[in-house]
Amino acid sequence: MNRRDFLKGLVGTSYVVLSGSSVLAPLNALAASGAKAGDGWLTTGSHFGAFKMKRKNGVIDQVIPFDRDKYPTDMINGVKGLVYNPSRVRYPMVRLDFLLKGHKSDTSQRGDFRFVRVTWDKALSLFKDSLDEVQTKYGPSGLHAGQTGWRATGQLHSSTSHMQRAVGMHGNFVKKVGDYSTGAGQTILPYILGSTEVYAQGTSWPLILENSKTIILWSNDPYKNLQVGWNAETHESYAYLAQLKDKVAKGEIRVISIDPVVTKTQQYLGCEQLYVNPQTDVALMLGIAHEMVAKNLHDTKFIEGYSLGFDRFLPYIQGETDGIEKTPEWAAEITGVSAEIIRDLAKVMTQSRTQMLMGWCIQRQQHGEQPYWMAAVLATMTGQIGLPGGGISYGHHYSSIGVPSSGAAAPGAFPRNLDEDQKPLFDSNDFKGTSSTIPVARWIDAILEPGKTIDSNGSKVTFPDIKMMVFSGNNPWNHHQDRNRMKQAFQKLECVVTIDMNWTATCRFSDIVLPACTTFERNDIDVYGSYANRGVLAMQKMVEPLYESLSDFEIFTRFARIMGKEKEYTRGMTEREWLNKLYTDCKNANAGKFDMPEFDEFWKQGYVHFGEGKPWTRHAAFREDPEINPLGTPSGLIEIFSRKIAQYQYDDCPGHPTWMEKSERSHGGPGSDKFPVWMQSCHPDKRLHSQMCESEQFRETYTVNGREPVYLNPDDAKKRGIKAGDVVRVFNNRGQLLAGAVVSNNFPKGVIRIHEGAWYGPVGEDGSKEGGAEIGALCSYGDPNTLTQDIGTSKLAQACSAYTCLVEFEKYQGKVPSVSSFSGPVEIAL
């Protein structure tokens, strides 16, 4: 559908498109609308770091790191732009045709970005009416409000909790299991190592630095990824990375980064880089295992005492089960790593204290369960699991894992669920024979194919018929795969509600958009140091909420009021009283162990410090006595063969780790004849997903020609006549986008990178924002999820497989359209 057809759809309705200037107020006007409170330095925190802010004339003036953050990231330079930016949602708005026709609206217009301003009362009552309609017509299976994401730090205003508690007071809804980060890993590892591992505290860095002789960074870029943390981050891991760099230089620790690209960490540490063909790590690991067995390097005593099923796995390595011996030569052919290097790795890993540090990216691909399982098998074969500086970790690149925890109790959060005695307005649990919980990344499948039954982790899931979605604190039009498929699915929805502070692509594809204020426009508390849990931080309000934005607490308190449930919702407490309660509960839990002042004193001080923690070795108790301290697996041992998984009889996840070809793979794999290039959509160096992309001046520090960078190998670029700075069109059968070329030797032939989180900015053939609703529209800024594949990893985890993705690219020849991502909607006055 083009712009003309849209306009045709509006015949009989009189409307005016408001001029850009009223939508785009200048920065000083933005600031002035928030100018109320007094000036001075205040303390607050974010995923990017804890910091101090100076307020001058009621406006945020300066941002400097928190005293206890010795390794701040340059992303704090973008923080001011999170508050003052042209993408802010200024007032509640409703999609034009939804305002006119409600649940009978023309949903093919969804995404044309035409919105009408309404009052808070109007927006909230439309929201409530929609929930009424869906619960009445379809029951709880018609509503999905279960998606989560990287909502801002702060335990009180935790936006997803507010939305889910309030919507839950109205009625039940579909929820999700798992997450996009570690979906495959957290599903397979409980079968293998007895816990999800990915979010567990890991062996402490001091012990690794003291004992490891070899560290393998496998699909892992901690120097980049530790910049952000789940809580108010203080970046203590970087002190250990600095020590590691020193030891690498002195030759005391050998670090090998196994990755198709040269990572930021590899460059920082000055360590070895081992190129591997994308998505082929399982073959590499099998080749190493084969060599260990062939040379009798593996620790048979450890395997016997601590694991189960090696005898079922060995015939696979030796080719007795499928006729293919997994020799280093076999692996070399698939992986692009020479047989000699594979043999060397087998020797190094078994003959020196070796710590494997797995990143998460490798499991966000088809069969993503397998590399995690096979890595656990390799670690078992080295016999080093449970030794300080040996064995395997699945988390040292995340949120200060590996920094010894203080051991203190952390403050609790605003409740996400209903209190025990509370009942929803629509008190039904009838999901009409469909599942009330679905794997997190399968919601678009559900919308497109309601009633379909799929396998999932040993059970069956039947997709509910979803008619309405509510999003808060997450940005699915960033995090989910395959935009054009999402457009098809969204046309089937009757109503979409989003609560955000910015006009994200999710808001663009919604019907009701409610403006939340940023975390810097309200008071809150959180832990600082993430996994280090180093202390509690007062997150002091910097400025009053801009425009008509409200805190998530206030939005849903008002919503609860409409339901007649305000007091039930807030438990009769104000923001201040809640903060006091969360803090004082924490103080009481720590009584006798950690000294904490009274709340008022804490608030004045800005933080309370818990102190250092004790170093710790993961899996050490199990190693010491596997009978007294068994793993949480069915056998209590490491399961190299899992009888439980074998019993599921999944063709894409058999009973032991297995190399399986991918549906799309570069370097000679399936699909590479047509689309020869592997696109990786790794986590951004200068953002947290889509957050911070709105920060204008900061964005300009890395964009190319106003677009998201696409990193290209020099030969690949030359072959296509592309120079640094050119606008490039990247495409496949699923979609197309524009991005700005960065030519770099860090990227091998046949591999390109576009960081996830680049704001989706579709435009029509005429370059218009309205035309962006069309299926197949060009993304003007460079969102890689325009191109990624929306398939489950396997029948086991059904997780996100964004990295099984092939593309082609060319120099863009057409007229380059303006970027449509950041300027907010086309505002219509009726």
Ligand X SMILES: Nc1nc2c(c(=O)[nH]1)N[C@H]1C(S)=C(S)[C@@H](COP(=O)(O)OP(=O)(O)OC[C@H]3O[C@@H](n4cnc5c(=O)[nH]c(N)nc54)[C@H](O)[C@@H]3O)O[C@H]1N2
Binding site for Mo ion (CB under 5 A): 181
> Within 13 A of 489's CA, how many CA atoms are on the CB side?
24
CA torsion sign for 180, 181, 183, 184 is positive
- Quote the crossing angle between the two packed helices 310-317 and 281-294, to the nearest 10°: 100
Task: Examine residue 55 and tell whether it contacts ligand X (CB under 6 A).
Answer: no
Based on CB atoms, which residue is closest to Mo ion, 181 or 580?
181
Based on CB atoms, which residue is closest to ligand X, 261 or 493?
261
Partner from Mo ion, ligand X, none binding residue 221, C-beta < 5-8 Å depending on class? ligand X
Alpha carbon distance 209, 167 (integer Å): 48
Calculate the CA 136 to chain-centre distance.
Answer: 34
Give the contacts of 341 (CB within 8 A, at least 6 positions apart): 274
Applying CB under 6 A, which part among 192-200, 498-506, 583-591, 809-817 lies near ligand X? 498-506
Dig out the tokens for 490 from the structure.
């969204």
Partner from ligand X, Mo ion, none binding residue 236, C-beta < 5-8 Å depending on class? none
Residue 393 CB, nearest approach to ligand X (Å): 12
Task: Examine residue 197 and tell whether it contacts ligand X (CB under 6 A).
Answer: no
Name the residue with tokens 């001011």.
Answer: 80
Whether residue 539 contacts residue 43, with contact meaning beta carbons closer than 8 Å, is answered with: yes
Partner from Mo ion, ligand X, none binding residue 516, C-beta < 5-8 Å depending on class? ligand X
Binding residues among 268-327 for ligand X as defined by CB under 6 A:
276, 278-279, 281
**Which residue has its beta carbon closest to ligand X?**
149
Task: Examine residue 150 and tell whether it contacts ligand X (CB under 6 A).
Answer: yes
Alpha carbon distance 231, 426 (integer Å): 35
Task: Examine residue 221 and tell whether it contacts ligand X (CB under 6 A).
Answer: yes
Binding residues among 324-363 for ligand X as defined by CB under 6 A:
359-362
736 DSSP β-pair partners: 731
Applying CB under 6 A, which part among 223-231, 304-312, 323-331, 633-641 lies near ligand X? 223-231
Based on CB atoms, which residue is closest to ligand X, 129 or 685?
685
Phi, psi of 126 (to 5 degrees): -60, -40
Nearest by Cα to 89 from 514, 642, 545, 520: 514
Alpha carbon distance 298, 289 (integer Å): 8
Number of residues in contact with ligand X, rule: CB under 6 A?
64
Residue type, 528: Y
Residue 340 CB, nearest approach to ligand X (Å): 19
Phi, psi of 196 (to 5 degrees): -70, -20
Task: Examine residue 44 and tell whether it contacts ligand X (CB under 6 A).
Answer: no
SS3 content of the chain, % helix, strand, coil (to 5): 35, 20, 50
* Alpha-carbon torsion angle 820, 824, 829, 830, nearest 10: 80
- Out of 178, 260, 404, 613, the only residue in the binding site for ligand X (CB under 6 A) is 260
Task: Examine residue 683 and tell whether it contacts ligand X (CB under 6 A).
Answer: yes
502 DSSP β-pair partners: 88
Task: Examine residue 803 and tell whether it contacts ligand X (CB under 6 A).
Answer: yes
Partner from ligand X, Mo ion, none binding residue 225, C-beta < 5-8 Å depending on class? ligand X
Applying CB under 6 A, which part among 150-158, 377-385, 665-673, 811-819 lies near ligand X? 150-158
- Out of 33, 181, 370, 523, the only residue in the binding site for ligand X (CB under 6 A) is 181
Partner from ligand X, Mo ion, none binding residue 545, C-beta < 5-8 Å depending on class? none
DSSP-based three-state secondary structure for 608: strand
Applying CB under 6 A, which part among 204-212, 329-337, 472-480, 580-588 lies near ligand X? 472-480
Nearest by Cα to 801 from 809, 812, 811, 789: 789
H-only helix segments in 102-202: 120-137, 159-170, 183-192
Residue 230 Ramachandran class (φ > 0 left, ψ -120 to 50 alpha, else beta): alpha
- Out of 3, 117, 170, 224, the only residue in the binding site for ligand X (CB under 6 A) is 224
Task: Examine residue 689 and tell whether it contacts ligand X (CB under 6 A).
Answer: yes
CA torsion sign for 43, 45, 50, 55 is negative
Dig out the tokens for 275 from the structure.
């190129």
Based on CB atoms, which residue is closest to ligand X, 637 or 682?
682
Partner from ligand X, Mo ion, none binding residue 494, C-beta < 5-8 Å depending on class? none
Dig out the tokens for 43 from the structure.
């303390």
Residue 356 CB, nearest approach to ligand X (Å): 12
Partner from ligand X, Mo ion, none binding residue 633, C-beta < 5-8 Å depending on class? none
Task: Examine residue 149 and tell whether it contacts ligand X (CB under 6 A).
Answer: yes
Task: Examine residue 159 and tell whether it contacts ligand X (CB under 6 A).
Answer: yes
Residue 438 CB, nearest approach to ligand X (Å): 17
Alpha carbon distance 597, 702 (integer Å): 44
Query: What's 575's DSSP letter?
Result: H
Whether residue 410 contacts residue 205, with contact meaning beta carbons closer than 8 Å, is answered with: no
H-only helix segments in 626-747: 643-648, 696-699, 714-719
Task: Examine residue 785 and tell whether it contacts ligand X (CB under 6 A).
Answer: yes
Residue type, 95: R
Binding residues among 733-762 for ligand X as defined by CB under 6 A:
756-757
Partner from Mo ion, ligand X, none binding residue 159, C-beta < 5-8 Å depending on class? ligand X
Residue 344 CB, nearest approach to ligand X (Å): 17
Give the contacts of 599 (CB within 8 A, at least 6 positions apart): 579, 580, 583, 584, 587
Binding residues among 426-445 for ligand X as defined by CB under 6 A:
none
- Out of 203, 263, 570, 695, the only residue in the binding site for ligand X (CB under 6 A) is 263
Partner from ligand X, Mo ion, none binding residue 135, C-beta < 5-8 Å depending on class? none
- Out of 219, 570, 590, 780, the only residue in the binding site for ligand X (CB under 6 A) is 219
Task: Examine residue 797 and tell whether it contacts ligand X (CB under 6 A).
Answer: no
Nearest by Cα to 375 from 192, 205, 203: 192
Based on CB atoms, which residue is closest to ligand X, 162 or 170?
162
Cα–Cα distances in Å, from 398 out to 119, 228, 301?
Answer: 41, 8, 33
- Out of 81, 194, 402, 684, the only residue in the binding site for ligand X (CB under 6 A) is 684
DSSP-based three-state secondary structure for 306: helix
The H-or-E segment that residue 448 falls in is helix 443-448
Partner from ligand X, Mo ion, none binding residue 358, C-beta < 5-8 Å depending on class? none
Partner from ligand X, Mo ion, none binding residue 685, C-beta < 5-8 Å depending on class? ligand X
User: Rounded to the nearest 5 degrees, what angle is found at the Cα of 705, between the Cα atoms of 704 and 706?
Assistant: 85
- Out of 59, 283, 501, 640, the only residue in the binding site for ligand X (CB under 6 A) is 501
Task: Examine residue 552 and tell whether it contacts ligand X (CB under 6 A).
Answer: yes
Based on CB atoms, which residue is closest to Mo ion, 228 or 379?
228
Binding residues among 360-379 for ligand X as defined by CB under 6 A:
360-362, 364
Residue 694 CB, nearest approach to ligand X (Å): 8
Nearest by Cα to 193 from 455, 378, 458: 378
Dig out the tokens for 30 from the structure.
């933005």
Task: Examine residue 258 and tell whether it contacts ligand X (CB under 6 A).
Answer: yes
Residue 462 CB, nearest approach to ligand X (Å): 25
Residue 569 CB, nearest approach to ligand X (Å): 16
Alpha carbon distance 231, 252 (integer Å): 33
Based on CB atoms, which residue is closest to ligand X, 105 or 186?
186
Residue 181 CB, nearest approach to Mo ion (Å): 3
- Quote the crossing angle between the two packed helices 183-192 and 369-382, to the nearest 10°: 40
Applying CB under 6 A, which part among 2-10, 111-119, 225-233, 407-415 lies near ligand X? 225-233
Residues that bind ligand X (CB under 6 A): 149-152, 157, 159, 180-181, 218-221, 224-225, 227-228, 258-261, 263, 276, 278-279, 281, 359-362, 364, 397-398, 472-475, 478-479, 499-502, 504, 516, 519, 552, 680-685, 687-691, 756-757, 784-785, 788, 802-803
